[in-house]
Structure 1
Amino acid sequence: MRFWTRALLLGASLLASTAGWAQEKASDIVIGFAVAKTGLMKPYDEPATRAAMLRIEEINAGGGLLNGRKIRAIESDTKSDMRVAAQVADDLLKQGAEMLVVSCDFDFGAPAAKRAQAAGKISFFLCAEDIKAGLPGVGSYSFSASILSAMQGAVMVEWAYKQRNVRSVYVLMDTAIEYTKAICTGFDWVAPKLPSLTIVGRDTLKTGDTSVEAQMAKIAKLPAPPDAIMFCGWAPSAPLVMNGLRKIGNKSIVLGGSAMDGSAWLKDSPGVEKLFFPVQASVHADDPGNGVREFNVKYARKYGAPPANTYVFPGYILIELWAQAVQAAQSVEADKVKYQLETMRNIRTLVGNRSFSPQIHIQNQALLRILEAKDGKMNIVDQWMLSQPLAVQPLLKAAGLPEK
């Protein structure tokens, strides 16, 4: 009898312990990461995801959210495949994700974000910069903590005009993804506003092309070299373009977008110089912001190497923005969190103030650092804020979306 009594007591104790563990786990706030651990998007998704995990650790160490609830991250690899992204999102939502973090680019992240939208859950793109990354392309629960890629093209042409006396520009656009096309949309919004600026020609290429000889031949045949080449592209196509320009002896400055950041691609294009592009903050140890430098050191200590490119920062601040909204709402319920995100203004973050609104769920104005790639390094040479916020209507029209 004593044996069975002890057995029953032990069983009850184990059940109570298991129930307590389950209750503790149930109290966690689950964030699902539908991100690329392999494939084309890995260089962008990986640093941003790592930064997000770092901020989650900091929040948990500080006591969590909503009176002590810890954040628990669950991850799954989209393999840089849009079809896989949707399947991954469904699985993460079934595991109880209250919010989804999706791939850095709109094209690759949207399938997962749309699953979150359908499920009535908030989603954040890791660092997508297309106007569709949010309300127009996904829905009311979708956000991006990053800046519009169109703003990058707009900032660069305004900066080059006013700071480098650029008066003639040749436009070369990579048509592979929405991000690269939107850089040119921003350029085209600002360029007509700049007196005496002339666009001397345009051409396109696509990521994966093995040659740009035809495009370079057109530039070489111009009556005079343009002051600048506006390259609406990204790192995968950058070596081909930069090598091509050098091959024809072109000495124009090259203006690019933030996706040019990260020196890894320079090994395929040695000797790059006079390439300028904007970033939210610099990973190259020369950023004037103390918080940014501290973050770079903390990240390197955690992961064994410094962050690879500027896309690390939106991953960190998206968690901060969402967490502040959750605390303000005292809930993880999507409508309440969305309301807080849309009404909070000038939220302080690692890379400056951020605001959303019911009309736009991505940044259309911000102070950016201007970097130059030279001698195998990327260093800050200036900083610039667009003279007026980027208008949303032209972006919607260019993207073939209803103008609101």
Structure 2
Amino acid sequence: MRKFETSPDEPVVSLLSPEFEDDPVGALARLRDRSPLVRVGFPGGERVWLVTRAEDIRKVMSDPRFVVDVSKVPGHEGPSLTEQMVATLDLSDELSDYFGANLMLEDGQSHVRLRRVLAPAFTNRRIEALRPRIEEISAQLLDTLERKGAGDLLHEYAAPLTITVICELIGIDEADQPQIRKWMAEYVNVEADFTSSLLGLCGHLKELLKRRRAQPANDLISTLVQAMDAEDVQLSEADAISLTVTLVNASYHAMNDFIVNAVLVLEENPDQLALLRADPTALPHAVEELMRIGSSISNAGPRYATHDMEFAGVPIRQGDALTGSIHSANFDPRYFPRPEQCDIQRRPKPGEGHLSFGAGPHRCIGAALANLEGGVAIDHLMLQRDSVKVAVSRSELTYRDTMPGGAPRLLTSLPVRM
């Protein structure tokens, strides 16, 4: 069977061209108006279908004809797009000992099995019980910043808040959390020693699994140990480590960037901030709107067509890879009237909200935790305190890529005055 074969003269869009950096919303709108599916170049030279419209992205994410595990495509040979991207990082062979099944790269019953293991830690009741602790951490960090009078909102508030919350949920001891944060910062830094950082994190988690087997606690690591010991679950140590690394990575970087982006959006929309301060009960809706506008998640992971078909009026061939543009979906005027405007009173219909958490079976398991953290951060930064001011202009902000030739691009800092 061919591998992601396309016509050599087929027009291909580069998402790395300047227009997508200078005006991503406008550039994606032009693609969305042009076609529901557009061929784009992917790091490594492959060509992928970019799905541009919200309705079609939801369908791809929920349609069993599309899979995230390319080995489930009949007759497919060769690595997946994700594996090709990882290969460009030249990782150590030692890392293969640590990684088992990946929640984001499994389909069907394999995915259900892994998600079921994690589900008890992410019930709405369990997440809501974390609120007092999240509020305590947030208040302590802001008190420190306020005493200084100025600082970096990313590195002195958002990053320590999110790493502390996910580490406590997982069961990583307080004394070890600064090292975990250091590893996670290096994990997405193309200039850092990616392999050493990831090896360090995985080695620490392996040791922690041993510790919790000897002394169980009320944390996710202990839950994973129980699953490893249960005959009917069949969870390996490598599976447990892979699941934990995925959770830490997703919870840390995405939430850091969301918090600082939300502050920027509200500062640039003082009328919306005034509305929110006048009616703090609108905070959950404001979080949803800010998640729509301020998420750093640009594209969904690739899905692969299991057979030839027509999708959104476009012929798709078996083995073709499709990725949904989350940014395009979140600004799709078919779902969000005046999408470029921040509107904290926006009330999408059920099933028609933003796609920053994905959709379908692979919708982010930590969505409730992200909404809680985001709500507490906005409440403490912009409602309970009204003195936080961004100390630089938008043009002075700097970003860094998280992988060679790939997105998302994350802020390097956000200087503020208190």
TM-score band, normalised by shorter chain: under 0.3
More strand by share: 1
TM norm structure 1: 0.27
What is the TM-score normalised by the length of structure 2? 0.26
More helix by share: 2
